[in-house]
Structure 1
Amino acid sequence: MHITIIDDSIAYDGNSPKTQPMGGTEKAVASLAPALVRRGHDVCVVNRIQQATVIEGVSWVPFDAPRPPETDAVICIKKPALLDEFPDVEHKLLWLATPAKILNKPVHQALMEKHNPIVVFMGDTHFRTWEPWKYFRKGIVTPGVRPEYLTEAEYSPEKPPRVIVTTNPLHGLDQVLDLWADQILPQVDGEASLHIYSASFFKAQGGFVLPEKLQPIFKKVQAMGSKNVIVHRPGSDLEMAMAYRHAACHLYPGVETEMYCSTLAETQAIGLPCVARPVGACSERVKNGQTGFLVPDMDSMANVTVHLLTKSASRENMSRDCRMMQRARTWDVAAAEFEALLG
């Protein structure tokens, strides 16, 4: 089958996850495309890349170039407007990444009725965000985890223990910083460090001017140098996998609008226990009490984080369960499920 994937967000290709940090949706496209090729399909990705290239059998084509002359099916990423790019293709999938209530906007309703795509969700939480006005075909394909997080390399947290934070700074980092300074660090006698992975904050340390809404949180981060708070630039998948293997806990406050939680899926696969709130898709990524803790409030988050930092046996048991229970979701599995929807 000739499959075209179209995404008009940013420039990236199949090598990007190996060389730079990526958003969850773009990484999903870069991972799904070669997995479909491995299943025998001809795959073309149309996005904002500047120059056409072929990587792992996938053709990557600039958005402004002519569309592929032959396409049996098209997978549109996030935006219903992309359905108009292939008016004559019968098989269309719309793979959403945000809550599906956006489809009920009149402009999107018109596009949905015109093209009648299969709407693909990232999980049950995502699926429940839509109340359609008429019947549309639907499917659930949870993204896979890339192989960098699935190797058998040893999980070996360093001492003093490290806590990893990968959340968007606006999604609870302010509260995490308060918890760290007031409740967590004092209970571990200052023998731990909080590692924040944020591209915007890392650039701000070098003089980049942040948007106004981020500045108060960044100032709080800057004031916590004595509290063992360290900001890092997010890295490639290989770099992040190495960082996760040396951490003791992944703190993930979460938000209701997160429909997948990509970094949480990756740290779980690596064997890193987490502490999260049961919001958005967090409860789909974490098996409470086995691979991490889903807590009702921030005080509970502090208590169980201290537990993971100070009780190595408990942490090791959870890490083992993470690796045993959270590794089955590969991109080859996800590609097979997409193939079933197209069939």
Structure 2
Amino acid sequence: MKTRAAILVRLGQELVVDEIEVPRLRRGQVLVEMVMAGVCRTQLNEVSGRKGPDPYLPHLLGHEGTGKILDIGSGVTKVAAGDIVAISWIKGGGLEAPGGMYRWGKKRVHSGSAAVFGEKVVVAENRVTRVPAQVPAYVTAILGCAVATGVGVIQKTLQVRPGSTIAIFGVGGVGGAAVLAARAAGCRAIVAIDVSQKKLMWAAQLGATHFLNVRRVNVLSAMRRQFSEGVDFAVEASGVASVAETALASLSPHGVLAIAGHPGGGETFQVDPFVLIQGRRIVGTWGGETVPDRDFPRYLRAYRTHRLPLEKLIGASYALEDSNAALKALAGGAVGRLLITFNSEQ
């Protein structure tokens, strides 16, 4: 069986969209016919080499999406052919297995256990979660990273309380989902901080109450005028390590900063230990501590009851052939979670 896929061949170069041979399924693997996949800044980091040397070239990209199970390998019990699933880089229940090893002429093409930039992809059982067929694909496509991390960091990592104040640094897919979740949590003040005025306008639609454009104001001065004691919580979702310094300084003496963005390899930030002695805390978050089998259904219930209007997170869609255009749009500051579309009927 052959399929078309977007392949990263060399760092710093455009993806090559071509036909590859799908391997036979091994134990713990499933074959998914993709409908939609989310485009994450992680893919930009991979293509540019910002993550560092890549020993797996050539390989497929992507780590969140949705599609239909076509076949299952031995040992798979969690899903069956015909099931609609959300795919995530976050491990859930089921067997752990490597991604498919595709053939491209005489070359091998690697893939991770949740690589989804192909019309038909081989992924691990523990990276898929069954979802209701009635939910639009553009919603289930972004559960695996944007929603898992952005909603999870508010609800699970920080456990934000009603009446809290929060600052969200970077309003991309993850930061946008965090704004949406902060509103659902009942925060009385949600500060959106970004370099893009278009993204700040989008944040207003998601529920942010205050807006700071890094290119127009001194963020800390502006926040101190509005919140003299600092905010209760902050989320670093820009993926720029040094932004965490500003985010930490924006906190109240007992505030908590969650690092949700993915900086480039080797990037660091500095911390004055005294701000920690005062009671401030820094925590990391691994996919918002989301457990796919338990939390994806919960997120979807909140969507279906209009408490989490996840459809507001969606940006532009691109065909697989236009994967490079999607990446360029993301790098250029496109608003919302961008999608790659395959054989979508939704």
TM-score (norm 1): 0.30
**Structure number with larger C-alpha Rg:** 1
Q: Relative to total residues, which structure has the larger strand share, 1 or 2? A: 2
